[in-house]
Amino acid sequence: MTIRITGTGSALPEKIVTNFDLQELVETSDEWIRERTGIAQRRISMGETVATLSAAACQRALEMAGKTAEEVELILVATCSPEMLLPCCACQVQDIIGASHAAAFDLNAACSGFLFALNTAYAYMQSGIYKNALIVGSEVLSKLVDWSDRGTCVLFGDGAGAAFVEASAEDIVRDNGRKVGMECMVQGSDGTKGMVLSCAERPVDNAFISEKQTISPYIQMNGQEVYKFATRQVPACIHQALDKAGITAEDVDMFVLHQANVRIIESVAKRLKADISKFPMNLDKIGNMSSATIPVLLDELNRGGRIQDGNRLVLSGFGAGLTYGATVIVW
């Protein structure tokens, strides 16, 4: 038994913030940002929430899959920026779309979140507990960014991407001989390096504590350490997944990576000895949306007709935690 993606969807805020707009806020320039990140603009919420963006992406994924919300059995929302601690975002999405028969919960693996959610859904379906699921990566990072910090405010954007996945007991074989579905999944974490990318929640502050804590509510990042981790761990993780699937990078049609930085993606391509043309990118238009980057790019490729039946894709990402993962899947 495997799982296959039968529908994708995405949703982005309407507000576009360019590098030139950021020049008015901090000491930076379009040239500086493009050269170091590859980002030219990003979408920023003007009221859209993690839940409303998630719901819109889910509805589009369901439409593509030809399913109704009542048929959904599981909703998993990967996010590190929910508006509410209670109820969880997935339950809010359940309410908005009317998925009355689904179980719903959130998980947080930061930018690797969509992959961790996909693997969680696979485990549920492999055990026979559920037959389908809505997997969502959704973020409103703009509320976690210090807009006076040029090292972080230029990087992040808001948005959501979703995939509807179904269990497949029977093999579907494409014309090229490949079987549709997930071929393997690798995931991991290194908590010892977790604080190189962090964002604090409310401190412990109750009636029995006299000394109050003051902490920053914004994203804190050691960019050099994150870069070194990503350029080393992502290709290693992908190699591990390829070995597990019994294939090489040459057998992969497309690498759909977390859209954090063009330099990271180029470094991964070089280490894998794979042509950069196999690494589609959209970070120039929407920036780093954490858990949403992979599903949003996947939906863009799918709706644009760039993914063909039988294509083998590697989805891979890294994020705060530090977390990482890679999935090999045949479309």
pLDDT digits (tens, 9 = 90+) for 89-136: 999 999 999 999 999 999 999 999 999 999 999 999 999 999 999 999
Contacts for 112 with CB less than 8 Å, ≥ 6 apart: 187, 258, 291, 317, 318, 319, 321, 323, 324, 325
Q: How confident is the model at residue 2 (pLDDT cuts 50, 70, 90)?
A: confident
Q: How confident is the model at residue 1 (pLDDT cuts 50, 70, 90)?
A: confident
**Pair 237, 274: CB distance under 8 Å:** no
Tokens 């819109």 -> residue? 56
For residue 302, pLDDT beyond 90: yes
For residue 205, pLDDT beyond 90: no
* Assigned token pair, 254: 């497309």
Which class would CATH give 181-330?
Answer: alpha beta
For residue 211, pLDDT beyond 90: no
Sign of the CA dihedral with 56 first, then 5, 7, and 251 last? positive
Sign of the CA dihedral with 11 first, then 13, 18, and 23 last? negative
pTM over 0.85: yes
How far apart CA 241 and CA 255 sit, in angstroms, is 12
Domain regions of the chain by residue span: 2-168, 181-330
Which of 134, 249, 131, 240 has its CA nearest to residue 188?
240
DSSP SS3 for 3: strand
Decide if 288 is catalytic: yes
> What is the distance of C-alpha 80 from the center of its chain?
11
Furthest-apart CA atoms within the chain: distance in Å: 69
Rounded mean pLDDT, 62-73: 98
Q: What is the pLDDT of residues 214-263, one digit of tens each?
A: 889 999 999 999 999 999 999 999 999 999 999 999 999 999 999 999 99
Decide if 258 is catalytic: yes
DSSP SS3 for 45: coil
> What is the distance of C-alpha 119 from the center of its chain?
13
Q: Do domains 2-168 and 181-330 have the same CATH topology?
A: yes
How far apart CA 107 and CA 116 sit, in angstroms, is 8
Annotated active-site residue in 108, 119, 132, 288 = 288
Annotated active-site residue in 80, 91, 111, 153 = 111
> What is the distance of C-alpha 63 from the center of its chain?
21
In CATH, the number for domain 2-168 is 3.40.47.10
Decide if 111 is catalytic: yes
**Pair 132, 71: CB distance under 8 Å:** yes
Annotated active-site residue in 80, 258, 261, 302 = 258
| Whole-number Cα distances in Å, 124 to 2, 128, 239 | 11, 6, 26
